[in-house]
Structure 1
Amino acid sequence: MFGRPGGVRPAPLTPARAVRARIATALAVSVVLVLTAASPAFADRKPVTAKFPPGFLWGVSTSGFQSEGSFPDSNWTRYAERGAYGVEHPYGDSVDFRNRYPGDLRLAKGLGVNVFRTSIEWARVEPRRGQRDPEALAYYDDLIRQIKANGMRPMLTLDHWVYPGWVADQGAWDNPQTQKDWLRNAEFIVNRYKGQGVLWITFNEASAYIYKELTTRPMNLGQMLKMRDALIKTHRAAYDMIHRIDTGAMVSSNVAYGSVINGIFDAALFNDVTDKLDFIGIDYYYGANLENLTAVHALTGEFWKIDPEPEGLYYVLKNYQRRLPHLPVYIVEHGMPTDDGKPRPDGYTRSDHLRDHIYWIQRAMAEGVKMMGYNYWSLTDNYEWGSYRARFGLYTVDVRTDPSLKRRPTDAVPTYRSIISNRGVPSGYVPVRRPGWCSIEDPIATCFGTTPTPPAEYAVPR
């Protein structure tokens, strides 16, 4: 997810201030980019007419670094150790997925999902140049074996913002050698796990990857542009390599949706690789409209303060489908953070959030969006890039105060299980949160069209 930095520091570094300034100056340009992709129809509440088809891919998402613990030298272990910008808590052992994955996979199986997404961490596989760790490979071999034994398909991310310490020492993406080293490692991983029905993700959220390196490493503008070009070239090469080795596999790079600045997000990688994608991978966490501008809290990392905009997902899905009508759409990440596990002050629950968004996905499907899959972020709480405060898990884990790291189910566990078994929300479902007026996701339809009066059946308009 874009900028899930987790903590808020009172005295940001100069590079971060520069980033915010650049973002602010780009807002007007981004609004124009959004306007050019507007949808022709305003979406008010209507009965759901599309059920998810049999064989639809229901999943949960996580990442290696964020959940595994016992992590070797890497750019992110270094950022955490030196208290880089946005780092509020030490990494520790996170939720110890590295040692508890058999139990966590059973929890995922109990939801009824058929996809489990994680990352194969380069820093763990190759902690020193040219020296692969046999224990790490045994761990990943067994992890993938157990994912499949539990009736799930692996979705494997090759780069979820983390690279080995020795890559950092050679200049990271500043150095063209990193592209060669990355592809060498990726080819090794693809050869090892080919023929197992893997859904491959090259780079997780390229825009957020660049942003986090820009503010946390940090980088200057020239380094940022060099990294962008390197990711584009590397994805394109990786796409061809994966298709050569793992015949028939599907490959993508999930894009972070970023509301008013989404034009900038897509420019990080997506716009230059649309011919090298087998499905559109979208991560959606928040939107904005003129009645709800709380997305501004994303700039400070206080994501739990954002009021969700479920109907925004409907517009986002239609937008991307219109741009690439020949490709199916997969929501690779979607979820809601709470503040250290506490209930939201407005009473909006994780179950409300999940049902409301599923409703709008079904609405988009009924209007022609070719949905392929949906992953919830995440199975458990984990290390949110500097902090354990933002809690996204279906199962909550109190890393800082519970040495047992017990997985405790949230209200959304039975809700997700029911949605999967019933192939969506009931046909008469009424979203808890009413649509807002003048959505950034589709300004022409929602600002200038005729906005119907919200029906009386809406629950409390939170």
Structure 2
Amino acid sequence: MVLTAALAAAAAAGSSPPAHAAGDGFLWGVSSSGFQSEGSPPDSNWTRYAASGRTHELVGTSVDFRHRYREDIAAAADLGVDVFRFSVEWSRIQPTPHGWDEAELRYYDDVVATVRGHGMIPMITLDHWVYPGWIADRGGWRDPATVGAWLANAEQVVARYAGLGAMWVTINEPTIYVQKELAFGGIDAADVPRMFDALVAAHRSIYARIHELDPGARVTSNAAYIPGVQTGLDALFVDRVRDTLDFLGLDYYYGATLANPSAIHALTDDFASIVPHPDGMYEALMHYTRRFPGLPLYVVENGMPTADGAPRADGWTRARHLREHVDRMRRAAADGAPVFGYNYWSITDNYEWGSYTPRFGLYTVDVRTDPNLTRRPTDGVDAYRAVTGEPWPVPVPG
């Protein structure tokens, strides 16, 4: 382990349970990602997609988590959560193929130390859809050598933070990752099978390496749940890595029923027009309970957007959305779903892959017009603080 001062402080905190963890053992958390929240990103596939005019707007400063992470991590801790999820951005720590940027690694050291210092578990995502510009120059996921370069970076990160009690997410939403790369030109249709093969190989390899470097750590890849077609989508990735998942990460946002077909708005990125379907949370958890008996489940992402922070036309509030989805999760647990954790997406608003219009944050931030990037609490803050203080109804799987 590379033991900087920040890491030494984090290690000194020991491996005791999170300071906020309830005695029932259920883990509450918040999610974020580097590219979406850090701001001022280095050259990457996504800075290039934005610069090409294929997105609604540039990322710019985003909410400047890069310099305000202490504030946001403290806000998460104040909610009473146990887990803070973030990603270590490959494009930031390895801006050229010739080595790693030690200053940027020290920034992530301090993020890890700050999370630990607040008594929370770091949940570290190794790939949240972003790779360096020099990888893009070589063909991105079209290039067979990308897997090796990806593994070298991932191993650097894992080795640095081994022994600090982290949970690991290898690849965020692989099926949506491939879809985004296809939509923005990172790959062509003929490259889709090759990219899935590469992501499977990357996950399987780093899973084994994590368990060598960080014994006892729990490792996953989180699946974006799409009702009606998830079994087919799982054949592309999840089924191929099932034996290398310590738990299954589940991302649930939208349902689709004859009575509520509003998920069609996702095709035009009009996310705030999708009417929430809390029962889908129950259905998603029970789907995986049946498909993978005994595999622990963790809701890695769940949330609801507004459009530029305005009240939703359907009357849903963030507090209501949170309470009703947690209620369905509790019902699933009572009916046998081995769910042991839940993360809200996200602690603050951020760059939603091309636009600042969809706002998912517990704390809202007006990136376009507020130069101070003030964090303003939504009604979800008090609601989540109340949720984290409630007992979990059934034993939590180990």
Whether the 8 Å contact between 1:60 and 1:117 is mirrored in structure 2 is: yes
Distance 2:285 2:243 in 1: 19
Whether the 8 Å contact between 2:142 and 2:187 is mirrored in structure 1 is: no
Distance 1:278 1:342 in 2: 40
Selected match of 1:77 from 30, 42, 47: 47
Distance 2:203 2:338 in 1: 24
Selected match of 1:299 from 267, 276, 280: 267
Residue 402 of structure 1 and its aligned partner are, at CA, apart by 0.6
Matched, 1:346 2:320: no
SS in structure 2 at match of 1:373: strand
Q: Which residue of 1 aligns with 2:136?
A: 168
What are structure 1's unaligned runs of at least 5 residues? 1-51, 426-462
Distance 2:180 2:264 in 1: 17
Matched, 1:199 2:167: yes
Distance 2:60 2:111 in 1: 22
Q: 1:53 to 1:301 in 2, by over 3 A?
A: farther
Q: Which residue of 2 aligns with 1:66?
A: 36
SS in structure 2 at match of 1:73: coil
Distance 1:304 1:268 in 2: 29
Q: Which residue of 1 aligns with 2:213?
A: 245
Residue 104 of structure 1 and its aligned partner are, at CA, apart by 0.8
Distance 2:353 2:249 in 1: 21
Q: Which residue of 2 aligns with 1:47?
A: none
Q: Which residue of 2 aligns with 1:4?
A: none
Residue 300 of structure 1 and its aligned partner are, at CA, apart by 1.2
Whether the 8 Å contact between 1:255 and 1:265 is mirrored in structure 2 is: no
SS in structure 2 at match of 1:159: coil
Whether the 8 Å contact between 1:257 and 1:265 is mirrored in structure 2 is: no
Matched, 1:54 2:24: yes
Whether the 8 Å contact between 1:329 and 1:371 is mirrored in structure 2 is: yes
Whether the 8 Å contact between 2:294 and 2:338 is mirrored in structure 1 is: no
Large movers: runs of 4+ above 6 Å: none
Q: Which has the higher contact order (CA 8 A, sep 6+)?
A: 1
RMSD (Å), alpha carbons = 1.2
Residue 151 of structure 1 and its aligned partner are, at CA, apart by 1.1
Identity %: 54
Counting only pairs closer than 5 Å after superposition, residues 268-347 of structure 1 correspond to structure 2 as 268-347=236-315
Deviations 1:146-179 (A, max 9, x none): 0000111000000000000000011111111100
Distance 2:264 2:186 in 1: 22
Q: Which amino acid aligns with 2:79?
A: L
Distance 2:392 2:50 in 1: 40
SS in structure 2 at match of 1:297: helix
Residue 270 of structure 1 and its aligned partner are, at CA, apart by 0.8
Whether the 8 Å contact between 2:34 and 2:88 is mirrored in structure 1 is: yes
Whether the 8 Å contact between 1:59 and 1:115 is mirrored in structure 2 is: yes
Residue 219 of structure 1 and its aligned partner are, at CA, apart by 2.5
SS in structure 1 at match of 2:235: helix
Distance 1:220 1:192 in 2: 35
Whether the 8 Å contact between 2:278 and 2:325 is mirrored in structure 1 is: yes
Whether the 8 Å contact between 2:115 and 2:122 is mirrored in structure 1 is: yes
Distance 2:194 2:359 in 1: 33
Residue 424 of structure 1 and its aligned partner are, at CA, apart by 6.0
Q: Which amino acid aligns with 1:336?
A: M
Report the structure number with the largest CA radius of gyration. 1
Residue 134 of structure 1 and its aligned partner are, at CA, apart by 1.4
Q: With the length of structure 1 as denominator, give the TM-score of the two structures.
A: 0.79
Residue 69 of structure 1 and its aligned partner are, at CA, apart by 0.7
Counting only pairs closer than 5 Å after superposition, residues 32-181 of structure 1 correspond to structure 2 as 54-84=24-54, 87-181=55-149
Matched, 1:384 2:352: yes
Whether the 8 Å contact between 1:256 and 1:265 is mirrored in structure 2 is: no
Aligned residues: 372
Distance 1:94 1:371 in 2: 32
Distance 2:87 2:199 in 1: 17
Q: With the length of structure 2 as denominator, give the TM-score of the two structures.
A: 0.92
Q: Which amino acid aligns with 1:73?
A: D
Distance 1:268 1:178 in 2: 19
Distance 2:23 2:351 in 1: 34
Whether the 8 Å contact between 1:57 and 1:114 is mirrored in structure 2 is: yes
Q: Which residue of 2 aligns with 1:407?
A: 375
Distance 2:135 2:355 in 1: 24
Matched, 1:256 2:219: no
Whether the 8 Å contact between 2:87 and 2:125 is mirrored in structure 1 is: yes
